Amino acid sequence: MTDRESLVKKAPPPGRLAADFAAPRGRVYDSITETVGGTPLVALPRLTAQDGLKARVLLKLEFFNPLGSVKDRIGVAMLRDAEARGDITPGKTVLVEPTSGNTGISLAFAAAAMGYRLIVAMPESASIERRKMLRLMDVQLELTPANLGMGGAIRRAEDLVKALPDAWMPSQFQNDANPAVHAMTTAEEIWTDTSGEVDCVVAGLGTGGTASGIAHALKPRKPGLKVYGVEPAESAVLNGDEPGPHGIQGIGPGFCPHTLDLKALDGVLDISERDALATARRCARVEGIPIGISSGAALYAALQLAAQSEHEGRTIVAIAPSFAERYLSTTLFTGLS
């Protein structure tokens, strides 16, 4: 046998390798906005085996969204909802949002793809990667003094909306399209992908839209299904503590937002920044899934629930809102060189 023949013999039969990959989507999209959602649920066999857990823990990888976070869902949904109400018009309305997080990046791509100008107000302390991503998508940045925190950015955005002739603020913490899109899409995907075999969902609480939307859609469908929120232990306001500084970006805004329906949840678990970081790093190392810090917090909470005897044989889904790379300049990467 020649070398070439033996190589051909060793190659997998046609189609075998492709069968391990995601199926073709079978369509062409008219806009990037249509590619949001449909994110995969992935099992964590090595992590659960290491911990000797008897529950199935699944991670919903929201960084498969086009701009890399769970916020892509509301970036598109809030604009589509406002268009349907006649509140905004492409080429005319200027969108203004105070945000130092993933929402800015998600609104930026949705605004560009749908024909809107966007102004983002954020504290000058926001990371350079974030600011540059926004500038790449032609967003106008309004940087406010770092010592005024998000409060300063919110006031600047409100002043701009008053001053500009045709401005509109999506207001992610107030906008009902936020929990609604999670009820319609995120929850539906979890239900379909598990064929209804889901007993518990764990999600970090920023606006609360993800957890509340999932609870609204899934709890009536399956009595006994539990939905838990996660907040930083360093700022456990939902469990009665004082707000405080913490490093779990995206969750723990320090107040109870309109978009969070606490009554719909089965409880709020307080997770420390330390446990969130350790779990995010562990997930990267052990499973090859480099998740962000708030994902680490949700996963840590899910692993704790999975260790309880009542969850034996049950399926727990943790939401992973974003990817490790968005936190390059944070403590997630401290000590690595």
Residues making up the binding site:
102, 206-210, 294
> Does position 292 bind ligand PMP by CB under 6 A?
yes
Cα distance between residue 166 and residue 150, in whole Å: 24
User: Quick one: 66 or 208, whose CB is closer to ligand PMP?
Assistant: 208
Cα distance between residue 119 and residue 139, in whole Å: 6
User: Quick one: 53 or 303, whose CB is closer to ligand PMP?
Assistant: 303
Residues with catalytic annotation?
71, 294
Pick out residues in 98-127 that bind ligand PMP (CB under 6 A).
101-102
> Does position 209 bind ligand PMP by CB under 6 A?
yes
User: Quick one: 231 or 287, whose CB is closer to ligand PMP?
Assistant: 231
Q: End-to-end CA distance of the chain, in Å?
A: 47
> Does position 206 bind ligand PMP by CB under 6 A?
yes
Residue whose entry in the numeric block shows the structure tokens 């680490």 = 296
Cα distance between residue 264 and residue 228, in whole Å: 9
> Does position 252 bind ligand PMP by CB under 6 A?
no
Scanning 14-22, 25-33, 145-153, 208-216 for contacts with ligand PMP by CB under 6 A, the matching segment is 208-216
Pick out residues in 210-229 that bind ligand PMP (CB under 6 A).
210
**Minimum gap (Å) between residue 90 Cβ and ligand PMP:** 25
- Binding-site member from 227, 251, 271, 317 for ligand PMP (CB under 6 A): 251
Scanning 30-38, 120-128, 207-215, 304-312 for contacts with ligand PMP by CB under 6 A, the matching segment is 207-215
- Binding-site member from 169, 216, 321, 323 for ligand PMP (CB under 6 A): 321
Question: Which residue has the CB atom at the shortest distance from ligand PMP?
Answer: 250
The interface mask with ligand PMP, positions 62-81, x = CB under 6 A, is -------xxx----------
> Does position 204 bind ligand PMP by CB under 6 A?
yes
| 167-168 sheet: strands from edge to edge | 140-144, 117-123, 94-98, 167-168
User: Quick one: 37 or 206, whose CB is closer to ligand PMP?
Assistant: 206
User: Quick one: 33 or 102, whose CB is closer to ligand PMP?
Assistant: 102
Given a contact cutoff of 8 angstroms between Cβ atoms, the answer to whether 307 and 51 are in contact is yes
> Does position 170 bind ligand PMP by CB under 6 A?
no
By the criterion CB under 6 A, which residues form the site for ligand PMP?
69-71, 101-102, 204-210, 249-251, 292, 294, 321-322
